[in-house]
Amino acid sequence: MTAPNRKSDPLQQIRDQILERRRFLITSHARPDGDSIGSQLAMAFALDALGKEVRIVNADPAPDHYQEFPGMERIEIATRVEPMTADAVIVMECSEPGRTGLAGLEREYLINIDHHAGNQLYGALNWHDDSAAACGEMVFDLIQALGVPLTPEIATHIYLAILTDTGSFHHSNITPRTFDICRQCVEAGVTPAVMARRVFDSNSFGKLKLIGALLDDMELADEGRLAVLHLDDQMLAATGSTHNDTEGLINLPLTAREIQAVVFFKVTQNGQVRVSMRSKYDVDVRRVANEFGGGGHKNAAGFTVNGPLMDVRAGIVRRLVGAIAEGLETRPA
Ligand code: 5GP
Ligand code: MN
């Protein structure tokens, strides 16, 4: 085996450019999740430690239960970046720049760091590793390469990224490396029980009611192997909940042994249908998302289609039933 060529290694190139440049803007995908928030803030704290200027700009605010994590007040909400205000824009978690929901990125020096399969390699520098369980794993490597120590703030955000993007250690992309990074985060001061309670046990009463309504309304297909959930604004109003309360609900049906995949339809105000999917083991929902112009991971993927829901629903369900049949063939014992 030959030694890796350090010069052509994207991690080293990114490290070198970060050390050379001074002003950074960090962004991630619209409707940010725990991995986008954790990856961005871990990176921001690391850049602070290097004495860099850092801004974080996202198209949408983070869900409420992330607000108490360190540094959240630094996140600016905007839909465009002003030209030349940064020496580099670090785009995390985005297979294409459009996922950010930010206009003006095409003029910028982009550093693309992502773990989604099918990344379009749109940056001046591209580091794409679809074997990473979370983008936070990649950020951990980068922070180490930059020689920045793992502070409690950085460790908290790396752990947050991994905890959420593995579906609280349920998905099939977890490796020994995932736990090795988490171990180092715990040694640096993270308390797993506090993290789990903050992320998963911070529901509002409205959300509890919404869970009841959603599950009451749940339909089963494919002899109970596929759960179909459906949400609209009426349900939110009836239960006293908001869109903010919908995160994580999609995972609930997977707790039933028989259910192999879940599809969650959200009808938006402009009549579009936002489709989220989750699955167990080798049931590949990313391939279904790809067919509809979306993306994601094997066990968690999504896309948006034009409605009405009744017109698109059957085709999506049919493809999911196919994905379940294929995935069950390779089910581990
Ligand atoms: P969620 O269902 O939580 O919105 O998304 C699950 C996963 O699929 C995430 O990794 C997310 O980035 C990805 N994903 C969701 N919607 C889309 C989409 O429209 N396009 C792409 N490329 N990825 C998506
Ligand atoms: Mn991710």
Mutate to test the pocket of ligand 1, among 27, 28, 29, 113 (most ligand atoms within 8 A of CB): 29
Summarize pLDDT for 166-182 with one digit per residue, the tens: 999 998 889 999 999 99
**Cα separation, 109 vs 125, whole angstroms:** 8
Residues whose CB is less than 8 angstroms from the CB of residue 2 and which lie 6 or more positions away in sequence, other chains included: none
Residues whose CB is less than 8 angstroms from the CB of residue 252 and which lie 6 or more positions away in sequence, other chains included: 211, 214, 215
Residue-level pLDDT at 6: 46
CB contact at 8 A, 9 and 128: no
Average pLDDT, stretch 61-86? 95
Query: Would the pLDDT of 7 be above 70?
Result: no
pLDDT confidence band for 333 (50 / 70 / 90)? low
* Beta strands in the chain, from DSSP E residues, in sequence order: 23-27, 53-58, 75-77, 88-92, 110-114, 125-128, 219-221, 226-231, 261-267, 272-279, 295-297, 300-306
Residue-level pLDDT at 1: 37
Strand partners of residue 231: 266
pLDDT confidence band for 57 (50 / 70 / 90)? very high
Average pLDDT, stretch 109-117? 97
Residue-level pLDDT at 287: 97
Return the CA Rg of the chain.
20
Residue-level pLDDT at 247: 87
Locate the ligand 1 atom nearest the alpha carbon of residue 96 and give its number: 22
Name the residue at shortest CA distance from atom 11 of ligand 1: 296
CA distances from 274 to 46, 84, 143, 171, 263 (A): 35, 34, 34, 22, 10
Residue-level pLDDT at 312: 95
Strand partners of residue 57: 76
Average pLDDT, stretch 283-287? 97
Locate the ligand 1 atom nearest the alpha carbon of residue 264 and give its number: 2
pLDDT confidence band for 307 (50 / 70 / 90)? confident
Summarize pLDDT for 123-159 with one digit per residue, the tens: 999 999 999 999 999 999 999 999 999 999 999 999 9
Q: What is the pTM of this model?
A: 0.90
135 lines ligand 1 (CB under 6 A): no
300 lines ligand 1 (CB under 6 A): yes
34 lines ligand 1 (CB under 6 A): no
Average pLDDT, stretch 60-87? 95
Name the residue at shortest CA distance from atom 2 of ligand 1: 276
Residue-level pLDDT at 3: 45
Average pLDDT, stretch 80-90? 95
